[in-house]
Each structure stands twice: as structure tokens, then as C-alpha cells.
């Protein structure tokens, strides 16, 4: 059985349960007539993923460049805001991706849902926030169990003599306090990507469907593409 989310104007129910053949037929019908409805549906999926650890969209790949080579890594999607066109993740401020984004602010996100066979490629201008109001607001929302990840005594990627994370054992105690973890704030960075392009690809046994959306000052402008 396959599950597909239906457009709001088609039916009030959140999802339909179809056989694979019927689902494929429904997908093609939806895709060929509802281009303008895809951006809102995409942003709903992204926003839902921020609150659902099981969602495949919760852990996308973020690509950056130092102008000579590209680097990719899995990140955790912390926030998605359709109105602001923003995607947010966190990083150790000493990490390679932060240095690269300071050289080239264009970041590229890759999302894939294997169950739905749905891929999103997102291009976005990305700002690094450190020791500012935005960083402080996100730090305040970060659980203590996660704040310790920014307390390593060496930068990410540093050589070490044995397996480990370079975090003091005392900071891993269940009794650790916010004050004890506060030094980690200096290493805490919030990456805020303002999306300017979304490429959507839906795979299907009877045919694939692909579209691209570019932000044009006040709205998303979409085009169908050959998959």
C-alpha cells in the first residue's frame, strides 16, 4: 500500500490509502495539474520534519564549498519557516562547513524520503549566526544533553590519539548544569538558509515527475522539467 498526501482543495483528509497502481495514477494527475500547490506542500513537509525525529527530511545533507572543492555532511533540520523561506540547522562554529559558508554563502540542501521516493534539492543563501541574538535564542531552546556537543576541547576534525569526542567526562554527567555547559555557547553557530530555489523530484514506476521553483520577489515561480 502507498500513502500520498492530498492537496487541501481536493479533500480534507490528511492522506489517502491506495493500491500502488491507483496511487501512481493519482500522482500523475496531481503532478500535471497542480504545479502551484507544490511549494506550500513542500514547506509543510519540511516544517513537520522538524518535530518528527523519524522523518527522513529531519536529517538532510548540507553541501558547502571553499571555492575549490565541495563538502557534504548530514545535518539535523531544526526549523523551517515558509513565510521567511528559511531552513535552520546548528553547527560547531569551528567546523569546516562554517568556514566554508563564510567564504561562499550559497549552501545546497538535499532531502530524500525513500518511502515516498521523493527528493528535494534546495539552493539557499546561508548566514552564520554566532554570539548574536539569533544564536542566543536557539541556544536557550537547546536541551542540556545537546549543549555538551559544543564543549569539545578541540575543533571538529582534529586528530586524536584514540576514539572519543574530546568532551570532558564531567560534562556528560546527568547532573551537569547550564552554567557548566555555558562555555559551549562560544562554539555554537546557527546556520540560517534563505531558500531561493527548490527542485522537486517524484519517482514512480510508471514515470518520474520533476519541477523547479524559483523565488521571484513575491512568489514561487515554477516550471516542469524533464526528469
What residues make up the domain containing 202?
Answer: 34-129+193-225
Going by the DSSP 8-state scheme, the letter that residue 31 receives in this structure is H
What is the CATH classification number for the domain harbouring 104?
A: 2.30.110.10
**Model confidence at 8, in pLDDT bands (50, 70, 90)?**
very low
pLDDT at 194 over 90: yes
Considering the domain boundaries, does residue 113 fall inside one?
yes
Considering the domain boundaries, does residue 157 fall inside one?
no
CB within 8 A of 194, min separation 6: which ones?
84, 85, 86, 124, 125, 126, 127
Residue 7 has a pLDDT of: 38
Residue 47 has a pLDDT of: 98
**Model confidence at 34, in pLDDT bands (50, 70, 90)?**
confident
**Model confidence at 67, in pLDDT bands (50, 70, 90)?**
confident
Considering the domain boundaries, does residue 13 fall inside one?
no
Residue 33 has a pLDDT of: 53
Q: Which helix (H) or strand (E) holds 41?
A: helix 38-49
CB within 8 A of 39, min separation 6: which ones?
198, 213, 220, 222
* Model confidence, pTM: 0.84
Amino acid at each position: 500500500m502507498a500513502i500520498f498526501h492530498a492537496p487541501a482543495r481536493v479533500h480534507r483528509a490528511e492522506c489517502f490509502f491506495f493500491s500502488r497502481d491507483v496511487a501512481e495514477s493519482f500522482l500523475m494527475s496531481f503532478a500535471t495539474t497542480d504545479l502551484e500547490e507544490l511549494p506550500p506542500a513542500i514547506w509543510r513537509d519540511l516544517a513537520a520534519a522538524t518535530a518528527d525525529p523519524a522523518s527522513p527530511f529531519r536529517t538532510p545533507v548540507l553541501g558547502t564549498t571553499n571555492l575549490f572543492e565541495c563538502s557534504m555532511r548530514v545535518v539535523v533540520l531544526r526549523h523551517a519557516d515558509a513565510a521567511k523561506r528559511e531552513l535552520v540547522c546548528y553547527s560547531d562554529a569551528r567546523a569546516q562547513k562554517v568556514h566554508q559558508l563564510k567564504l561562499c554563502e550559497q549552501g545546497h540542501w538535499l532531502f530524500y524520503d525513500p518511502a515516498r521516493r521523493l527528493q528535494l534539492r534546495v539552493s539557499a543563501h546561508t548566514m552564520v549566526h554566532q554570539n548574536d541574538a539569533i544564536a542566543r535564542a536557539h541556544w536557550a531552546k537547546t536541551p542540556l544533553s545537546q549543549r555538551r556537543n559544543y564543549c569539545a576541547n578541540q575543533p571538529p576534525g582534529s586528530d586524536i590519539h584514540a576514539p572519543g569526542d574530546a568532551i570532558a567526562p564531567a560534562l556528560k554527567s546527568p547532573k551537569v548544569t547550564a552554567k557548566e555547559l555555558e562555555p559551549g555557547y562560544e562554539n555554537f553557530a546557527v546556520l540560517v538558509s534563505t531558500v531561493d530555489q527548490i527542485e522537486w523530484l517524484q519517482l514512480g514506476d510508471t514515470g518520474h515527475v520533476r519541477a523547479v521553483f524559483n523565488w521571484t520577489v513575491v512568489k514561487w515561480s515554477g516550471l516542469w522539467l524533464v526528469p
